[in-house]
A and B are shown apart, each in its own frame.
Chain A
Amino acid sequence: MAGPKTSTAATSKSSPAASPSAVQSLWQAYTDTTPSRLKLIDAFLVFLMLSGVMQFVYCILVTNFPFNAFLAGFGSCVGQFVLTASLRMQVNPENKVEFKEVSPERAFADFALGSIVLHFFVFNFLG
């Protein structure tokens, strides 16, 4: 997704510096070079990942009893993550060459439709 960008940022500071500065420069490069819309997507992805991890930990440690509820909750996180990641791939200017025929508007419409269908199934299955 953001692979090419981060790698260029890393190579630009390839000196054997201390790791804090590497992470710092990585973060600096990310904040500087990433469009704000992709940052919005990244924030959403992080939220979804944390939510999914928390539900999985709860399922392992406490109970999986209404298993359908677990599947629905966890599946909504995973599904939404996949859809959002796809959106990020399609709207990323770096990947413009790969998705010539898909405009960002078209990508968002696909994403929104897919998400609404996903949530329909999730709430049906939630019990």
Chain B
Amino acid sequence: MVSICSLLVSLLSLALLSLAKSSTGDSVLVVLEPTLDQANFSVFFDGLKKKGYELTFRAPKDVSPAIIQDDIPSFSHVILFAPETKAYAGDITPQSLVTLLSKNTNVLFVLSSKQTPVSSLAPEFSLILPPPGTPLISHFPERDTPPSVIPIPTTTNTIPVTSSNLSPIWYSGVSFALGNNPLLFPILRAPPESFAADSTEDTGADAVVDAAEKSGEGLWAGSSMSVVAGFQTREGGRAAWVGGVEVFGDEFANKEVAAGVKSGNAQFAQELASWAFQESFALRVDSIDHHRVNDTTVREHYTTNDQVVYTTHISKFNAETNAWEPFSGITDLQLEFTMLDPHVRTALPPVPGSPGEYSVTFRVPDRHGVFKFVVDYKRKGWTHIHSSTTVPVVPPRHDEYPRFLSAAWPYYVGAISTSVAFWVFAVLWLAGDDKSLYKKKGGKTQ
């Protein structure tokens, strides 16, 4: 009976696994503004459906389906294609969106140059938006599109969440500066020649020149601005911020950047979504093992100066096979053995020949107390790995200290010789001639 049940459960989980394309689930809520036509984003949405996502559409003011119900997210991912909506139904609030992110739900935000609740939420993610009504403009390279429609090369990516060998991406929207929040990182930067301005006419150029001379906050220009950014919460939820919804549109996806060269929009949008939905760059710790050298069992406590082997297995999610696969690609993993401070901090290298395994041998410090094995790997774009295992370190037991040290032999000899001499003395005393003593004693007493 039990085996049948477990078989059913495993079959069910297998079926679920084969459906899911993301490491966290496959249900997606698309909040689509009424002014945006679903058909205009068919390339993006069809790509998601083809990967296995179940898309549910609703307008910002629709009451159902609820984005979060009884504090439980109703969907695994939310796409917020509502760049100009100023009023939402009661369930979509900045607080509920942040709650979603803290419950490991992923959100794809889209901004516009208009002031909206979403653009008011952006500063909470350390995004610094330009003043309302100032889209990104670039007059380079020379092209037949308006100055606000810009081809952006993908080769400047420093954090390879998306491929850097795509064709340039058509972009129209706002740029934003990134604050110094360590959880935030740029995915696509604005071109160096671009700037944010409220007018596409060249007559407004003087104001931009003035701002450039003053520098500071007056100027929103150059490649330190981003147009797409990623934010990964400490709980693992991912938020992607995109400065314009047109990036995902069919028009830009099918538009040529040069004669005969299609734009990279379609692939960029899919790669961005796969990062945001925790398909790619998703890591997890499968197992942790620690034991003494020449031992195999995990010990409840260690003794000072023990040689300890710490092993961890790390997997990466593979969206193509829908499975977590052992991943040995991390070269800068570190292990810390901490009691308040790291007493040992050492590299945790991958073990050659066994995929996904990272192992290190180190000596437990000569200090007893409650220690922790800590693996803390936080890299931008990647899932944060944080694993902490508490283990007490005790001094040796009374019979575990080293014995018969060569340095102590003089003391051993001293103690043994005293004992031997005592026995010899006792034997001589008892067997010896005692006449003299008794004679004297007798003489005295008499």
Contact = CB atoms under 8 A, between A and B. Distances in A.
Contact of A40 (B412, B419, B425): B425
Contacts of B419: 76, 119, 122-123
Nearest to A112: B426
A60 interface: no
A65 B422 contact: no
A63 interface: yes
Nearest to A96: B444
A44 B425 CA distance: 7
Contacts of A36: 432-433, 436-437
Contacts of B414: 51-52, 54-55, 73-74, 76-77
B437 A104 contact: yes
Nearest to A126: B415
Given A44-B421, A74-B414, A77-B418, A65 B436 contact: no
Given A72-B411, A127-B408, 5 more contacts: A38-B437, A73-B411, A80-B422, A119-B415, A122-B418
A38 B267 CA distance: 107
A70 interface: yes
B59 to A, nearest CB: 81
B421 A47 contact: yes
- Interface of A: prevailing SS: helix
Interface in A29-63: 35-38, 40-41, 44, 47-48, 51-52, 54-55, 58, 62-63
27 contacts: A35-B437, A36-B432, A37-B436, A38-B437, A40-B425, A41-B425, A47-B421, A51-B414, A51-B417, A54-B414, A55-B410, A55-B411, A65-B408, A70-B408, A73-B410, A74-B411, A74-B414, A76-B419, A77-B414, A84-B425, A96-B441, A96-B445, A104-B437, A108-B430, A122-B418, A127-B401, A127-B408
A34 B376 CA distance: 81
B237 to A, nearest CB: 57
Contacts, number: 99
B417 A119 contact: no
A40 B411 contact: no
B258 interface: no
A115 B424 CA distance: 13
B225 to A, nearest CB: 66
Nearest to B409: A69
A91 interface: yes
Interface in B330-352: none
Contacts of B430: 108
Interface of B: 401, 403, 405, 407-408, 410-415, 417-419, 421-422, 425-426, 428-430, 432-434, 436-437, 440-441, 444-445
Contacts of B428: 40
A31 B432 CA distance: 17
Interface residues of A, number: 39
Nearest to A127: B403
Most buried by A among B405, B414, B428, B434: B414
B319 to A, nearest CB: 61
A126 to B, nearest CB: 6
A93 to B, nearest CB: 5
A4 interface: no
B18 to A, nearest CB: 65
B411 A51 contact: no
Q: Give 7 nearest A-B pairs by CB, closest first.
A: A73-B411, A73-B414, A69-B411, A69-B408, A66-B408, A35-B436, A76-B418
Contacts of A104: 437, 441
B398 to A, nearest CB: 10
B437 to A, nearest CB: 5
Contact of A73 (B415, B429, B434): B415
A86 to B, nearest CB: 14
A126 B35 CA distance: 90
Given A69-B411, A112-B426, A37 B434 contact: yes
A104 B415 CA distance: 27
A53 B419 CA distance: 17
A124 B418 CA distance: 15
A55 to B, nearest CB: 5
B407 A35 contact: no
B429 A40 contact: yes
Contacts of A40: 425, 428-429, 432
A77 B415 CA distance: 7
Contacts of B437: 35-38, 91, 93, 104
Given A122-B415, A127-B408, A37 B429 contact: yes
Contacts of B421: 44, 47-48, 80
A70 B425 contact: no
A66 B405 contact: yes
A127 B436 CA distance: 43
Interface in A64-116: 65-66, 69-70, 72-74, 76-77, 80, 84, 91, 93, 96, 104, 108, 112, 115
